[in-house]
Amino acid sequence: MSGFKSYNVNLHILSPVHIGAGQELDPFSYFIKEDNLVLFDLLKWMEGYENKEELNEKMDSEDYIGLRTYIAENFNNDDVILNSIPVKDNTIIQRYKKAMRDKNSENQALINFMTRNEITRTPYIPGGSIKGAIRTAIGNRFVDSAGVSAADANKCYKTTCDRKIFGNPLKDPMKNLKISDVSLSNAGSFIYEAQKFSYKPDKSPTPKGGFEASASLSELETQVVIPLHFSLNNFTLLGTNIDLSLMVNILYDFYITKFKDEYKKFYHSSKNIQLAMAYINKEALSLKTNETFIRIGHFSHIECMTFDDARKPKTRWKDGKPLPWGTTRTLANGIYPFGWVKLEFQDLPAQPRNDKNWPFSQDEIVNIVREKEKAKIIAAKRREDEEKRKIALKKRQAEIDAMSPEDKMIKEVQNPIVTENRVYEIYRAMDSFPDNKKLELANTLKEFWQKKNKWKKKKCSKNQWGKVLKIKELLNEN
């Protein structure tokens, strides 16, 4: 490609990104098991299902609720599984369970899935979505130069505002930017409950259903970084040369302003959202001159998708006048803003931006992240200890399984939690032991009763002393 230069760019996914294919799937296409949503090929499952007579009866009954419950309960063919996606909100699981028994259309448990590779079935972020976000920021920079005004927003947005800035679509200068699709094969995705959140703190969030979205820093609390194939042929727009450095600064000016404004308007009074956004905020604080935030995908909201001086969205009318816009945000699980990513251009100089004007305290963000990191270390140590315990138990059980019946009973007596009744049962079985094992059990019983203070005559009942004497005789201690 003559004139094009490829750059080393990393895409950091900071918050859940949902870019849908306009496809909602109901429980005939998936089931939920052990907090995982399993996508499967229904037709292939039906072809391979053994009890076709029973299945046909279910299909002929027109009991759709019973049919999908039957499919979920009898699914046993891993070969037809397309994807398994962790569910991150219990509301989705409860809605699914209700849908399996409720014919009400409001409880169909529809899930909005991401765009997918038709061959691998892996979700991906289209390069066009990233390019579109870049286009919006660049267009916004040239609104004044192009003579775009709020009046243009009343006309067809794409054919008026866009054409004034970028010119004839056949000669669109943005064709000089090429960005590949981004596979989420390594990053993965989750199922979230989308909730509409008002800037008024007294209003409760409104559920908007289940959405598949990318894994992200905010959810995992660890970096999600994917190399991005990015190439640019520097171009001229309204007399200005657009190179990579200018592009990054344009993106930063547009999206960081939106990021700050949204935080001040919607999140300043919600402690839960502030905690959930701590890692994103830390990324914002540490942005360098070769880095910028952008926002992509569904629920990016109108401020990030339109030009500042030509923004006049149509809203519903009430009492003879349009309702205000920009009064809500849609959040994953009610705490994670959708769509924020960071672009890191490794070929550009990386210097601190020294932006001090943030709507949150730098010290507070650092402290929150520090406490989260401590909690992660403690949780990891607990998981490690639990895993060691499970391995030790498994090893001990394997050793016990390999033992003779006599060795197992001796081991039981040595167990600190063995009951005295069980010890007496084993004592009564001692006569059936081979001589060598009989002596070993005798020593073990002696140690047990010494620990229980039931070895000396004055501490024993008549019955217990009889047992002790028998053990002493076997050990030649009389």
Q: Is the same domain home to 70 and 218?
A: no
| 408: Cβ contacts below 8 Å, ≥ 6 apart | 400
DSSP state of 319: T
CB 307 within 8 A of CB 316: no
**Is 276 contained in some domain?**
yes
Integer CA distances (angstroms), 39 to 28, 72, 78, 210, in order: 9, 11, 11, 14
- The structure tokens listed for 400 are 């016990």
**Is 42 contained in some domain?**
yes
**Is 167 contained in some domain?**
yes
CA 36 to chain centre: 11
Q: Is the same domain home to 247 and 202?
A: yes
**Is 217 contained in some domain?**
yes
DSSP string, 277-308: THHHHHHHHT-BTTEEEEE-STT--GGGTS-G
Q: Is the same domain home to 415 and 271?
A: no
**Is 115 contained in some domain?**
no
Other CB atoms within 10 Å distance of the CB of residue 389: 10
Closest by CA to 176, choosing from 304, 306, 9, 2, is 2
Other CB atoms within 10 Å distance of the CB of residue 335: 21
- End residue of a domain, out of 359, 394, 414: 359
Q: Where are the beta strands (DSSP E) in 301-401?
A: 317-318, 321-322, 328-332, 336-337, 340-345
CA 287 to chain centre: 24
Residue 153's domain comprises 5-14+124-359
Per-residue pLDDT of the chain (478 residues; tens, 9 = 90+): 468 999 999 999 999 999 998 778 887 889 898 899 999 888 888 888 888 888 888 888 877 788 888 888 888 888 888 889 999 999 999 988 888 877 665 557 889 999 998 888 899 999 999 999 999 999 999 998 888 877 766 555 556 788 889 988 889 999 999 999 999 988 899 999 999 988 887 788 888 999 999 999 999 999 999 999 999 999 999 999 999 999 999 999 999 999 999 999 999 888 999 999 999 999 999 999 999 999 999 999 999 998 887 766 666 767 777 767 788 999 999 999 999 999 999 999 999 998 889 999 889 999 999 998 999 899 999 999 999 999 999 998 898 889 999 999 999 999 999 999 999 999 999 999 998 899 999 999 999 999 999 999 999 999 999 999 999 999 998 7
Q: Is the same domain home to 277 and 139?
A: yes
Q: Is the same domain home to 84 and 58?
A: yes
DSSP state of 116: B
With residue 84 as reference, give the H or E element that holds it: strand 81-86
Give the count of domains, the chain: 4
222 torsion bin: left (phi>0), alpha (psi -120 to 50), beta (else): beta
- Summarised one tens digit per residue, pLDDT across range 391-405 is 999 998 898 889 999
Q: Which residue has the tokens 């070769």?
A: 290
Taking the CA of residue 75 as centre, how many other CA atoms within 13 Å lie in the half-sphere pointing to its CB?
25
Q: Is the same domain home to 140 and 215?
A: yes
CB 212 within 8 A of CB 17: no
**Is 196 contained in some domain?**
yes
Q: Is the same domain home to 269 and 330?
A: yes
d(C-alpha 59, C-alpha 173), whole Å: 55
The dihedral through the CA atoms of 451, 457, 462, 468 has a sign that is positive
With residue 189 as reference, give the H or E element that holds it: strand 189-198
Write down the pLDDT at residue 245.
97
Q: Is the same domain home to 341 and 220?
A: yes
Burial of 416 by CB count in 10 Å (0-12 exposed, 13-18 middle, 19+ buried)?
Answer: exposed
Q: Is the same domain home to 369 and 339?
A: no
**Is 372 contained in some domain?**
yes
Q: Is the same domain home to 235 and 207?
A: yes
Q: Is the same domain home to 103 and 182?
A: no
Q: Which residue has the tokens 């004592």?
A: 427
Pairing of strands 336-337, 340-345: unpaired
Pairing of strands 177-179, 235-237: unpaired
CB 221 within 8 A of CB 325: no
Q: Is the same domain home to 318 and 213?
A: yes
**Is 116 contained in some domain?**
no
SS3 412: helix
CA 329 to chain centre: 20
- The structure tokens listed for 412 are 């039981």
- End residue of a domain, out of 324, 343, 359: 359
Write down the pLDDT at residue 312.
67
Write down the pLDDT at residue 179.
97
